[in-house]
C-alpha cells in the first residue's frame, strides 16, 4: 500500500517499470476519505494534505480552456496520453507531488496506463467533470440531460481507480453578483453526481466545486454550496486564489482573513489553484504558510497552477516532445516544499464540531436555496416527446431554437412554457426544464396547440412552417408513471430517478461502462480567463433562457 511518503526516486523507477512492462493491472493506493473538514488515508487514518499541481496543456488559468488547441473536441485528455505520463511523473515526484488536477477528460478513452503509473508514484487525481463545450454557462445556465450524461460518463470512467480523490462539478461558474443564479444549477449537478455515485454502488468519492476569489461573492458562494441537505451540498471546497504575490505574508496576502472565514467550515477546503505570477520567477513563499501551523488546522494544502509552461507564463517546466526542461519556478517550488512537514490529526482521535453554513439571502445573492433544479431524466423527456401532437418541424435547426422559444413563450398568457421554466432566482422549475432544447420546444408548442380549439387548433401547429403535427403515442409502462408525475402542465415534481448513464468508458479496467446517454449536444459555455481576470465565454448550443426572456427575432405565426 502506497502513501505520500514514497520517495521520488523510487516512484520514478516504479512508474518507468510499469510503462516498460506494458502492465495494465490495477495499481492500488489507500483511498482518501473525508471526515468532517479534513481528508484522511482510509486505512491508517493519517491526515492528508494536498501537495498538488495542475496538469493539462492549453489551459489559461482559472480552470479554463486556452485557445491554442484547435482540435474538434477542444481539449486533449492528459490521462489518456501514456507517453506524456511516462515523461512527466518523475518530475512530479521531484516536487513531492501527491495530487494532480485535470480539467477535462475524455470518458471514452482508456486511462489505465496513466492512472496506474500515478498510483505507483502515490499521486491522486481530482478531476473536473465538465469539458469546454459541455459545461454550465453562467450567462444562460442549465443543468440538462446532456450535461448529466457527460458527468455520469466521467464518473464511470474514473470511479474504479483507487487514486481518484474527487470530482469538481463546476469551476468559477458564478463570478459576479449578477450571475450567482447559475450556482443553483451547479449545486444540482453536485446533488445528482453524488446520487449517481451512490446509485452505481461505487466507493464514496467526494464531489466539490472550485471557486474564484471574488470579494463580492466569495462568502455567499461558500455558504450556498455548504448549506442545506448534506445530499445536495458539496463534499469539499476548492479555492482558486492568487493573492500571495512574490514575498508577501500571511497578513498582506489576505490568507489570514480567508483562514478565519473557513475556520468553521464543515467540509475540507484547499487551494484548487495558487501561484501568482505578478512577480517572476515565483518564489513560492506562500508554501511555508499554507503548510504551516497558521493554516493546516483549516486548509488541506493546495494545487499549484501549473505544470506546463504556456503563453500565460505559469509553467513549472517547458516541454518539447519528450524533453522536459525545469524552470526556475520548478526549482523554487521544489525547495519550498522540501522545507514543509505539515502535521495534522489522526482520524480516530478527530471529532468534527463544525456545522453546515446558513444559506445566503439578500439582494446580492440571486440563487434561491430551495428548490434546486430537477434531476435530468432522459427517459422522462423521451416519454413526454412521444405523447406530443405538435412538435418542431425537421427543417428547424437547433441554431434557430432560441428565436422560436421567444415566439412560443410570448404567445397568449405564456403558461404553455411553465413546464419548461428554469428560474433559479424565483425557484420556478418545470419538470421538463432539464430536457433538450428540442424536447422543451416541443412541449411548449404542444401545450399551445392543445389550448386552441376548432379551426384555431387546425392552424395552431404551423408557426410559418416551423412546427408540424405528429402521431402521438399514449404513455404506457414506466412512461405512464413518469409523465403522470410531471403532470399535464409539466409543473409536477418527478421523484423517479434516471437509470441511464453517460458514454462508455472505453473498456478501461478503472471505470465501469455505462449505457449511452440520450443527448449529446453542447450544453453551455466554458469560461476562459487568466487567473484573477474576468472571464469571457465559449458560446455553444442555443441560448434558450435568453431567448425566452427577450423574445428576440420573432418567427411569424
The residue count of the chain comes to 557
Q: What is the DSSP string of 199-226?
A: HTTPPP-EEEEEEE--TTTHHHHHHHHH
Going by their DSSP bridges, the two strands 536-537 and 527-528 should be labelled as: antiparallel
In degrees and rounded to multiples of 5, residue 53 shows phi and psi of -145, 140
Longest dimension (CA), the chain: 82
Please tell me the distance from the alpha carbon of residue 484 to that of residue 524, in angstroms, as a whole number: 30
- Is the preceding omega at residue 488 within 30 degrees of 0, hence cis? no
Look up cell 521520488; give the residue: 8
For residue 219, what is its C-alpha cell?
462568502
* Bridge partners, 124 (sequence order): 99
Burial class (CB in 10 A: 0-12, 13-18, 19+), 348: exposed
Contact 187, 231 (CB under 8 A): no
Cβ neighbours of 43 (radius 10 Å): 13
- Is the preceding omega at residue 371 within 30 degrees of 0, hence cis? yes
- Residue of 44, 55, 24 lying closest to 127 (CA atoms): 55
Contact 517, 500 (CB under 8 A): yes
- Residue of 159, 167, 168 lying closest to 115 (CA atoms): 159
Contact 294, 257 (CB under 8 A): no
What positions carry a catalytic annotation?
Answer: 172, 273
In degrees and rounded to multiples of 5, residue 56 shows phi and psi of -170, 130
Please tell me the distance from the alpha carbon of residue 43 to that of residue 226, in angstroms, as a whole number: 27
User: Number of helices and strands (H, E) in the chain?
Assistant: 15, 20
Q: What is the DSSP string of 241-302?
A: -----SS--TTTTSHHHHHHHTTT-SS-EEEEEE---SSSS---THHHHHTSTTTTTTEEEE
Contact 210, 273 (CB under 8 A): yes
Amino acid at each position: 500500500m502506497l502513501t505520500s511518503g514514497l520517495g521520488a526516486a523510487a516512484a520514478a523507477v516504479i512508474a518507468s517499470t510499469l510503462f516498460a512492462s506494458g502492465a495494465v493491472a490495477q495499481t492500488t493506493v489507500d483511498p482518501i476519505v473525508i471526515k468532517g473538514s479534513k481528508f484522511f488515508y482510509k486505512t491508517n487514518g493519517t491526515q492528508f494534505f494536498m501537495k498538488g499541481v495542475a496538469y493539462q496543456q492549453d489551459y489559461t488559468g482559472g480552470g479554463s480552456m486556452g485557445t491554442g488547441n484547435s482540435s474538434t473536441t477542444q481539449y486533449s485528455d492528459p490521462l489518456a496520453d501514456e507517453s506524456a505520463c511516462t515523461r512527466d511523473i518523475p518530475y512530479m515526484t521531484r516536487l513531492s507531488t501527491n495530487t494532480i488536477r485535470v480539467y477535462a477528460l475524455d470518458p471514452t478513452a482508456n486511462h489505465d496506463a496513466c492512472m496506474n503509473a500515478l498510483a505507483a508514484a502515490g499521486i491522486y487525481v481530482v478531476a473536473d467533470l465538465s469539458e469546454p463545450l459541455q459545461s454550465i454557462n453562467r450567462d444562460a445556465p442549465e443543468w440538462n440531460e446532456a450535461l448529466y450524461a457527460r458527468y455520469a460518463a466521467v464518473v464511470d470512467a474514473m470511479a474504479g481507480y483507487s487514486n481518484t480523490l474527487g470530482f469538481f462539478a463546476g469551476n468559477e461558474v458564478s463570478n459576479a453578483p449578477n450571475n450567482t443564479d447559475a450556482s443553483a444549477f451547479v449545486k444540482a449537478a453536485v446533488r445528482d453526481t453524488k446520487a449517481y455515485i451512490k446509485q452505481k454502488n461505487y466507493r464514496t468519492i467526494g464531489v466539490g466545486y472550485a471557486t474564484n476569489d471574488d470579494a463580492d461573492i466569495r462568502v455567499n458562494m461558500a455558504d450556498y454550496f455548504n448549506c442545506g441537505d448534506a445530499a445536495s451540498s458539496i463534499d469539499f471546497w476548492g479555492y482558486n486564489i492568487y493573492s500571495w504575490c512574490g514575498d508577501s505574508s500571511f497578513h498582506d496576502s489576505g490568507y489570514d482573513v480567508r483562514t478565519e472565514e473557513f475556520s468553521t467550515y464543515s467540509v475540507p477546503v484547499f487551494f484548487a489553484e495558487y501561484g501568482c505570477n505578478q512577480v517572476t520567477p515565483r518564489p513560492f513563499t506562500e508554501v511555508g504558510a499554507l503548510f504551516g501551523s497558521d493554516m493546516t488546522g483549516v486548509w488541506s494544502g493546495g494545487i499549484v497552477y501549473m505544470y506546463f509552461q504556456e503563453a500565460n507564463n505559469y509553467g513549472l517546466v517547458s516541454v518539447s516532445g519528450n524533453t522536459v526542461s525545469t524552470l526556475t519556478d520548478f526549482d523554487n517550488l521544489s525547495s519550498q516544499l522540501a522545507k514543509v512537514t505539515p502535521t495534522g490529526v489522526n482520524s480516530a482521535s478527530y471529532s468534527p464540531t463544525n456545522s453546515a453554513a446558513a444559506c445566503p439571502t439578500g439582494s446580492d445573492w440571486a440563487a434561491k436555496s430551495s428548490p434546486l433544479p430537477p434531476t435530468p431524466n432522459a427517459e422522462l423527456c423521451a416519454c413526454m416527446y412521444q405523447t406530443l401532437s405538435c412538435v418542431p418541424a425537421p427543417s428547424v435547426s437547433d441554431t434557430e431554437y432560441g428565436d422560436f422559444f421567444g415566439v412560443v413563450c410570448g404567445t397568449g398568457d405564456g403558461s404553455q412554457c411553465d413546464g419548461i421554466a428554469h428560474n433559479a432566482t424565483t425557484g420556478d422549475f418545470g419538470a421538463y426544464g432539464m430536457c433538450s432544447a428540442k424536447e422543451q420546444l416541443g412541449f411548449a408548442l404542444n401545450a399551445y396547440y392543445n389550448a386552441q380549439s376548432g379551426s384555431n387548433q387546425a392552424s395552431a401547429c404551423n408557426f410559418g412552417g416551423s412546427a408540424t403535427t405528429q402521431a402521438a403515442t399514449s404513455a404506457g409502462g414506466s412512461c405512464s408513471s413518469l409523465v403522470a408525475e410531471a403532470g399535464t402542465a409539466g409543473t409536477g415534481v418527478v421523484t423517479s430517478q434516471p437509470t441511464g448513464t453517460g458514454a462508455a468508458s472505453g473498456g478501461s479496467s478503472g471505470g465501469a461502462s455505462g449505457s449511452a446517454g440520450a443527448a449529446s449536444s453542447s450544453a453551455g459555455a466554458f469560461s476562459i480567463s487568466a487567473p484573477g481576470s474576468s472571464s469571457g465565454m465559449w458560446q455553444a448550443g442555443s441560448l434558450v433562457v435568453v431567448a425566452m426572456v427577450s423574445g428576440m427575432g420573432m418567427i411569424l405565426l
